[in-house]
Structure 1
C-alpha cells in the first residue's frame, strides 16, 4: 500500500451503484466509512460514494494519532468511546493497520504551554484518563539528556496510533463484508429533493433513490452544501508530513512541541511534521467567512503561511464553480483527489528542530513527503448535525485535523443520529446553527 493513497492505486470498489438503498454516504474518508459501517450494523442498506479513492485525501495523509489528550471538552466523550472502538476493531479484524497504545507526549517549550496542559487536566480526570503532567525529571526517564530541551510535558499512556493508509482501506473492506456497497470514481453531483426532503442523489453514474444522505465529504463538504443553501463556514488548511528512514527509537508512541511532531511508524522510522505550522490558500469562501475566523486567525497567525490562490479546481479556488448542472461533469469530478504539494520549507524546519532537540541522532533522513487538506471550522470542532432546512440530510464534517482518531466514534454517533437511536453524547457544541444563532465562537483547545 502506497502512503498516502493516490489515484495510482487501483480502485477496489468499481460498482455499479444500486438503483436504490436506505442511505447514501458521500465521501470515503474515515468519517464516511465508519458512518456507513454503523448504519449497516443498524440493519439499513447503505451505499457509500467516493469520487476518487477510499481514504485518498486527508484520511491517508494525517499523522496517524489516535489521541484523547488535548481534546475539546465536548469532543472528549466521543473520543474516549472512539478509542474503545479502535481497540475492538483491531481485535476483531486482527489488527491489519498497526493499531497500538504507545502514548502521546506533549512537550512544553514555554511556561504558557505548561499552564495550558495543567488547565486541561481536570477534563482528563473527569473522564478517567491516565493523563499526567511531567516535570523535567519525569521527562528524563523517557528522553534521557534530551529532556533538558523542554520545561515539562503532558503524557497520556493509553493514547494510540495506527497507520492511516492501512487503517481506512482495511475498515472499508470490512464494511463491504458487512453489507455496505462502496463505489469509487462515483461523484455525487446533486441531491434529489422531492416534497421538500431528500428522495435520492444524482451521481455521475446514475440516480440512487434513498431517504437519507450523510454528507461526509471532508474538504468538499462546504462546496456541496452551499448548492442547497446550507451555509457551512468550513475552510481547508494544508498540512505537510514526511516519513523518515529507519532510525533509533526515541519514543514508541507520538510526541510534539511548538516546532515539530513525531510518531513512531511501522517501518522503524518516524512520521514527522511541522508542529503547528500549516498553509492556507485564500479564496472566495475565505472572504465570505472571514469574520467567523477572526479569532482563529489571530491565534494562529504566526504559524500560518498565506497564499493568494489555491491550486486550480480546489474547493475554494477562484475558478471553482459554485453552481452546476447535475447532467454535466461537476467540480467533484475535475479533481478526483486533493493531492497538494507539501511545503518542503516547513518540513526542513521540523527536521532542524528535531536535530536540535536530539543532537545525538542529528537531522533525520526523509524517505517520503506529502500533504493533505484538513477541513476545519471557525471554532476547531466539527459539525455533526441534521440539516434543518433539508430533511433527510445529515452533515458530519469539519473535523479540524481530529477525524482519524475520532472517526469510529463519530461514525457510531452519525448512525444513531440518522436512525433516531440513542446518541449517548451531548451534540450541542457540534450543531450547525451555532454559526447563525448569535452564539459566541469559542475556540477549542489547540493542544
Structure 2
C-alpha cells in the first residue's frame, strides 16, 4: 500500500511552512534517512529526512509552495513490489490553491505584511482588470479590503488565475492610487517596479517566513509589552587586557575569545547575582528561571535569529566561544535545529562591531529583557577620580516593566558593569 509523505512539524510551534526545494524526483528509490526536501519554517531552512523506504511515485506539492499546512500530503511513496505508476495522490490531499490559502490566512492579515503577488500567468483569453464582461473577478477578501479602502476594483489589475484580483493586489492601495497601481509593470518573479505616492521607484520584495514572523512578533512586543530602558556606560580597558592575556594562553587550543563571548558570560553572571531579572511575565504568574540561557542575535540572510547559549553562567569562556562560533555559522547557513534557537531566558544584541554607539532593542517575548550593546570607543572618562581617555561602551537594557522593576533592572546593569570593569569575576 502506498505511503503518504506529509508536511512535517519541524518545531513544536510550526503550523505551516514553505516547501523550498525537492532534493529527489519521481522514480527515485528512497531509503530511510535520505534527505528528501528543504523546508523553510518560521526560523530556518531545514532538511526533511525520509522515515520510510520505497520509490517516489508522486509529488503532490511543488517546490516553492508556501503556507503548506503541517499534515498536508506532499508526496506519495510506493512500497516494495508496488507499481509506482498505479499510485496517485488521494483526492483532496494536496496543498490548497493559492486563492484558498489566501482566504485561510485572512485572520493573520492584521499582523503580518502581505506577500508580494506572484507574477500572473498569461491565459489564452486574459480578463482585463480582473473583470469578465460586467462582472468583477475578485476573491471575497480582496473585495472586502477594497470596500474598506474605497478602491474601485474595475481599476485594479488582478494577478490571480484568469486575472482574478487577490488580496495582495489591493492591500497597498487607496482610492487615489488604484489606477496607478493597475498599470504597474511586473519585474521578475519576486519583485514589481512601481511608483509610490512620491513618484519614487521601488521594488516589492516577497517576505520569507522568517521576516513574517519577525514582523508579527516585534509588533506584538511593542504593542503589548511596557518597555523600560536603562543605559550605563562601561569602561572596557580591563576586559580588553584580560582578553588579550587569555587569547595568548588559549592559542595552543585554537580558541580565540571575542569581546562578545565575554559579554555573554558577563550577562549570565550578572543574572546569577540579580536573579529577579531572569524572569518572564506569564499573565497571572511569573516564571523565575534558575538557569541563564542567553539568546544571542545573529544576522542571517533570511533575517534575524537568536541561537542560544544554554546555562551560560556555568560555562567557561572557551566553551562559550566555541559554541557561539558553531551556532553563528549554522544560523548564517540556515541550518539551526529547533532546540538551538527555541527558548532562552534573556537576549543579547551587539551592534558595536558596526560602530553603533547606543540603541534600544525590542524585547523578544516571552522573555523579560534584552541587552543592547554599542561600540567601544575612546572617550573622556573619570577613572579613580581623575579624567582620562578610556575605551567606553554604552549598554542599554530593555525590560518588561510588568515583570522587572526599574530598580532591579538598574541593579542588573550595575552588576554587568562591575563584571566588565573587574573581569576576573568572569574566569572564577
Q: TM-score range by the shorter chain?
A: under 0.3
Instruction: With the length of structure 1 as denominator, give the TM-score of the two structures.
Output: 0.19
> Looking at both structures, which has the greater relative contact order when contacts are Cα pairs under 8 Å and sequence separation is at least 6?
1
If you compute each CA radius of gyration, which structure gives the higher value, 1 or 2? 2
Instruction: With the length of structure 2 as denominator, give the TM-score of the two structures.
Output: 0.19
